[in-house]
Structure 1
Amino acid sequence: MLRFAVVLLVVLVHAVAPAHGHQETKDEDGPSLASVNAAVAYVDGDDLVYGKNADRAVPIASVTKLMTALVVLESGQSLNEWIEFKERHIPAPANAYTRIRIGSELQRGNMLRIALMSSENFAAYTLARHHPGGYDAFVADMNAKARELGMENTVFVDPTGLSVDNRASASDLVKLVVAANKHPEISEYSTTRYFTARFRGPRYRLPFGNTNALVHRESWGVDISKTGYLSEAGRCLVMLLEFEGKQLVTVLLDSLGTRSPMGDAGRIRRWLSTGSSGSVAAAARDYARQKNETYSETDSSVSAN
């Protein structure tokens, strides 16, 4: 019976993974991960603790919004200023459903909050529209900041992550998180669990929730968080954690299933604590649970988070 169960779990991994273009792999010197690309590093370290295809440039979906936040904060514009949600001047690269009403206003700081915590695409777009020099200048500043940070495998074409042409490597995103860590607003906004935004002109309210379930768990000590999803990018999760007295950056890109990046994050912590790399059985359970799962998030966008 035990032999049959082991064979069944191995079959599950190989049966499900090829259908989605993913295969759980076990790195000889690291944890078993469902994510195709990964990077792990301590903030005060010079090198990666672990990497899996860490220098490969891939679509990063709404992880883009961490760079959006960095450019907004370093522009020096007031976070208390009320700014208007204008109709898009260019079509969205993908489905960009929003509950926000065109013509209404929200304070810049709270606009940035819902862009980070709930991945509100219209908020990220609007922040770029109100940048000094306008939208195109904002995107140019995103790329300039990437070059300044030494993100050699990174390019941005929009501030939301809806475009598949926003690409970066996992190791580059470690550098982005380290830079974001210098701004306490990014930590506060990205880990806000729930928030009710109060708009004006007209006056109305909308509730928002965080797209990363781990921010609700005190034991994880999440200091910075950003999720991402496009069909071309898979599930993405970037976090800064308090781990054993140090700040740990975890980057997981192109994973299968809503919970798979969180499972990978747990396997990384276990590997760092115990040296255990995880198991084929755990990966098989992830794949079996996720293969027919319908995408459902508190995120206000349909195509990316």
Structure 2
Amino acid sequence: MPEANRMWVVVWLLLCLPFTVSAQQEGPNLASVNAAVAMAGSNELVFGQNADRAVPIASITKVMTALVVLESGAPLDEWVVFKERHTAAAANAYTRIRIGSTMRRADILRIALMSSENFAAYTLARSHPGGFEAFIKAMNVKARELGMTGSRFVDPTGLSAENVATAGDLVKLVNAAADHPEIREYSTTGYFRGNFRKPRYSLSFGNTNPLVHRDSWGVGLSKTGYLSEAGRCLVMISRMNGEKVVTVLLDSLGTRSPLGDAGRIKRWLDTGASGQVAKAARQYAQEKNAAYNSAVHNTTAALK
């Protein structure tokens, strides 16, 4: 992100969001820098780590995208065209989908959630009844309706680091999304063969969260995310200690770090054991916390 844009985001967050860094509550040791845990259906946290810190959320954005699509009333059985982007795509926006081909909206939503297909998420916004810009506006309106005061959306995919939210906000989003059976089903689909028309072809898609394949986890909703500015991210509803639990994990160092954190949270809820994380993950979290606090301090000083 250009330096001017990054400074603008920091200033916006400072003016609009609570910047008090939450002290870590008694709970599990995590590799993720920011985290929140709640019982499904409740927005009250049973554990939080920097849970009120607004940070980039990468493809976790697609949960909000799905919510807006479903609440728009756009028919899920409609065939939608994958049009050439009207704005330049990010460098990492690779897709196998051919421009000009069509797919049912329901299937586009499925691959956006389960496989984090960015062109699919973009196409959902582009085909919104009010158009792309109206879709982005609807994302922010929905965030306000849900009380997500630390959140802001500028694109439907999560490829922009200007999409930010707090871990606590994402608990609210996940609980709202879980009211829709389509999001629960599509986001936890293990494998899917998607059919396209004009031209006619098909592509295979896999879920980005390995835990959906493990019955012992009982995953009922899932979304992963990654962006260099956001780190590795995961939100999900799964069964822990006999209860359905919302887990939000933001900004982990390694690919499998969120999975390890989910396991530590599960053991903590079951036994109270805090667990251990790798030294590299601890150092990463310390560096990110220091950088965040420094940015807040410097911006505060500049605004005085």
TM-score (norm 1): 0.83
Report the equivalent of 2:269.
Answer: 272
CA distance in 2 between counterparts of 1:93 and 1:202 reads 26
Report the equivalent of 1:143.
Answer: 140
Deviations 1:58-116 (A, max 9, x none): 00000000000000000111111000000000112442110000000000000000000
1:42 to 39, 42, 45: 39
CA distance 1:123–1:80, shift in 2 (3 Å): same
2:130 to 130, 133, 148: 133
Report the equivalent of 1:12.
Answer: none
- The answer on whether the counterparts of 1:33 and 1:283 sit within 8 Å (CA) in structure 2 is no
| 1:83 is aligned to 2:67 | no
CA distance in 2 between counterparts of 1:155 and 1:147 reads 9
Report the equivalent of 1:68.
Answer: 65
RMSD, aligned CA? 1.6
Task: Identify which range, 126-135 or 41-50, moves more after superposition.
Answer: 41-50
- The answer on whether the counterparts of 1:117 and 1:211 sit within 8 Å (CA) in structure 2 is yes
CA distance in 1 between counterparts of 2:154 and 2:198 reads 31
1:108 to 94, 102, 105: 105
Report the equivalent of 1:30.
Answer: 27
Instruction: Report the identity percentage.
Output: 70
Report the equivalent of 2:235.
Answer: 238
- The answer on whether the counterparts of 2:57 and 2:250 sit within 8 Å (CA) in structure 1 is yes
Shift of 1:149: 0.1
Shift of 1:32: 0.5
1:283 to 278, 282, 286: 278
Report the equivalent of 1:175.
Answer: 172
The one-letter amino acid paired with 2:249 is L
SS at match of 2:205: strand
CA distance in 2 between counterparts of 1:188 and 1:284 reads 37
CA distance in 2 between counterparts of 1:76 and 1:86 reads 21
CA distance in 2 between counterparts of 1:250 and 1:240 reads 6
Shift of 1:46: 4.9
CA distance 1:44–1:90, shift in 2 (3 Å): closer
- The answer on whether the counterparts of 2:25 and 2:48 sit within 8 Å (CA) in structure 1 is no
The one-letter amino acid paired with 2:147 is G
| 1:198 is aligned to 2:195 | yes
Deviations 1:203-261 (A, max 9, x none): 00100000001111010010000000001100000001123332210000000110000
Please give the residue correspondences for 1:117-128 in structure 2 after superposition, counting only pairs within 5 Å: 117-128=114-125
Report the equivalent of 2:6.
Answer: none
CA distance in 2 between counterparts of 1:46 and 1:91 reads 37
- The answer on whether the counterparts of 2:68 and 2:138 sit within 8 Å (CA) in structure 1 is yes
The one-letter amino acid paired with 1:127 is L
SS at match of 1:49: strand
TM-score (norm 2): 0.83
CA distance in 2 between counterparts of 1:146 and 1:275 reads 33
2:250 to 233, 248, 253: 253
The one-letter amino acid paired with 2:201 is Y
Deviations 1:102-156 (A, max 9, x none): 0000000000000000000000000001101100000000000000000000000
Paired positions, count: 261
Shift of 1:273: 0.6
- The answer on whether the counterparts of 1:257 and 1:287 sit within 8 Å (CA) in structure 2 is no
Unaligned runs of 5+ in 1: 1-25, 289-305
